[in-house]
Amino acid sequence: MPLARSLSITSLSGLEEWDEEFDLEDAVLFEIAWEVANKVGGIYTVIQTKARLTAEEWGENYFLVGPYVESNVRTQVELIEPTNPALKRAIDKMNSSGCKVYFGRWLIEGSPYVVLIDVAFTAWNLDKWKKELWDNFSIGVPWFDREANDAVLFGFLTAWLLGEVGSQCEEPPHILAHFHEWLAGLGLALCRQRQLPVATIFTTHATLLGRYLCAGSVDFYNNLADFNVDKEAGDRQIYHRYCLERTAARCAHVFTTVSQITAVEAEHLLKRKPDIITPNGLNVKKFSAMHEFQNLHAQSKNRIQEFIRGHFYGHLDFNLDKCLFLFIAGRYEFSNKGADIFLEALARLNYLLRVNHSDVTVVAFFIMPARTNNFNVETLKGQAVRKQLWDTAQTVKERFGKKLYESLLVGQLPDVSKMLDKDDFTMMKRAIFATQRQCQPPICTHNMLEDSNDPILTCIRRIGLFNSSADRVKVIFHPEFLSSTSPLLPMDYEEFVRGCHLGVFPSYYEPWGYTPAECTVMGIPSISTNLSGFGCFMEEHIADPSAYGIYILDRRYRGVDESCNQLTSYLFQFCQQSRRARIIQRNRTERLSDLLDWRYLGRYYISARHMALGRLVKHLFFTHSAQGFRYPRPASVPPSPSLSRHSSPRQSEAEEDDDRYDEDAEAEKDRLNIRQPLTLPSKKGPALPYTLPGANGEKNGAASVKN
């Protein structure tokens, strides 16, 4: 099924201004999610990075609502008295009725207000609320599903909070409630069932059933229209969760999702087409290093090279200056994240590099947390041997330097044969003997608890990539999140990404994809797929993504073997690029970071909010129209793999330096092609007009609410 490309939904567009102003002083925004000040998955990153922009827009009228988790509150939240009088009265009334509701500031950028609800404290209401859920929605929740029980408690408490806020206001405000994911969705359904004067938005970041189906090796996208969703959810014992998610999607004034590919999924599984796409952004300022990002790449690459020297001690028979670092990172979902196809492509790449007698060596890192019991002893020994060699070299260097200095002081040229004595040679020989190794460098840096059944290690045994001297592709599996305090690879994730040459994310199921987005804002090229939200977004908004270091792998319309061959081709051609071509490509990749900034992508959330308010209050009626936009190809010939191969005879490096690439001129053209960042309304004066995307070509408020 082809993906519909609706320019009115997802294009970065130049749009008409609102035909009337809307004063945010009369509106209150509640953003409700289980991951507010409670890191569980990717939604935490979405809310945390977006908070500063939303707080600037809504000021004192923006409140995040989440669960109270004491361990998180101690380190992330400053508890204070509520600043809004109506909200203070609502919280006091709930607390006097047997609840525990806390108010504070979340200590992240933007310092947004948070309302945290202790769901465990009101667990005595669970049976009563479950009965009400069954009576009103015919949804039964089993007693043993703790996560669903928490969703019930959280949903009823958030609906209670929103109802109390509305009743405590002297003049009814325009209350807007934005709910994320099924864990928060019940509160939305209760707001509609109780007919509260609340405009509601529901965002699904990944459908619950879709994630389960893809995890079961189902041909998901080719059978979307044929699934019996009730049966599939029941077979997986998630029918009650699925019902909560579907009810929230159907009841919301505005239903959104994070990408076009997830919109197609939601339309078939949740039976409602999203009103608007709200892509996930990043706070690009966090990663911004101005023109220093190339220097940061070199510094981080040197640190990775030091790790490689220790890991491959005794077998360091390749040139580190001609070594490329590739990586894949994320949840350990072997097939969904594309680790299976990546490993197969690496085996084929190894064959191509060997038969072509390439002097390039590829080191592929797998950063996926798995069950381990400790570091691998052989891996730790490698870093100890490297450090010992370094200390030996430093000692000999100091002795050599002292003798050289003393010789020059007396006006004599040094006698090289006397600069190193017998002890120095003995010390160096012992250091060399210490680097002898009888086994191959380890694949995994840790001791796995289920080594024989681990998917990555099982696949490596099948394809035969054992880090032997003959292999041009080396594999390192690091089954733990990176940390700057690690004794093995002391780098945090951002530093590590900056030091790599290419991120590879050939995912089969990826509703958005923060990992390739993070690569982009740090100037690191990446491979994504047309089944990921990020890949679809870049494919739609950039005329030639590969010219900017964004390679889109076709996993939608090709079979597994064809996709694997395409990935192998991308990797092999990337290995053939010159160093200068890679530098040019990183410059272009980094310039795309503005496309992923919340100051650009936040406009989609603004559009969804105004649409929801327009559907609740009919006189809040705004019109807008969309015009498509695509980021053009770069002015000069792109150094993408498909266009960087030289005809025979091979050009020299000197000839390459004279080609027609002009960094400053190209950068200026690229800057002109990106829309200016979002201008927020002034809290002291009249609201400024917004530039907003459309939604299905409808006027806000024109569509009826789906029940």
Give the domain-ending residue among 259, 277, 295: 277
Quick one: pLDDT at residue 493?
95
Q: Distance between CA 595 and CA 540 in Å, rounded?
A: 12
In a domain, 446, yes or no: no
Q: Which residues of the chain have pLDDT under 70?
A: 1-24, 286-291, 619-631, 635-661, 668-707
Q: How far apart are the first and last CA of the chain?
A: 27
Place of tokens 């064809």: 562
What is the full DSSP assignment across 552-583? EE--SSS-HHHHHHHHHHHHHHHHTS-HHHHH
In a domain, 403, yes or no: yes
* β-sheet with 323-329: strand ranges across: 473-478, 361-367, 323-329, 502-504, 526-529, 550-553
Q: Where are the alpha helices (DSSP H) in 502-559?
A: 514-521, 533-541
Q: Distance between CA 512 and CA 531 in Å, rounded?
A: 9
Give the domain-ending residue among 240, 255, 277: 277
- Say whether 348 sits in a helix, a strand or coil: helix
In a domain, 79, yes or no: yes
In a domain, 107, yes or no: yes
Quick one: pLDDT at residue 437?
84
144 & 29 share domain: yes
In a domain, 536, yes or no: no
Q: Any idea how long the chain is?
A: 707
Give the domain-ending residue among 219, 246, 277: 277
In a domain, 304, yes or no: no
In a domain, 19, yes or no: no
74 & 222 share domain: yes
What is the full DSSP assignment across 77-130? EEE---SSHHHHHHHHHHHHTT--EEEEEE-STT--EEEEE-TGGGGGGHHHHH
273 & 387 share domain: no
Dihedral sign computed on CA atoms, order 225, 226, 228, 233: negative
Q: Distance between CA 38 and CA 30 in Å, rounded?
A: 17
Quick one: pLDDT at residue 403?
86
Residues facing 550 on adjacent strands: 526
106 & 251 share domain: yes
**What is the Cα Rg of the chain in Å?**
29
Contact 688, 679 (CB under 8 A): yes
In a domain, 106, yes or no: yes
Q: What is the CATH number of the domain that holds 219?
A: 3.40.50.2000
What are the tens digits of pLDDT across the range 134-157? Answer: 999 999 999 999 999 999 999 999
Q: Please give the residue range of the domain that contains residue 131.
A: 25-277
Helices (H) and strands (E) in the chain, counts: 26, 17
- Cis geometry, peptide bond prior to residue 649 (ω within 30 degrees of 0): yes
Q: What is the pTM of this model?
A: 0.85
* Total count of domains within the chain: 2
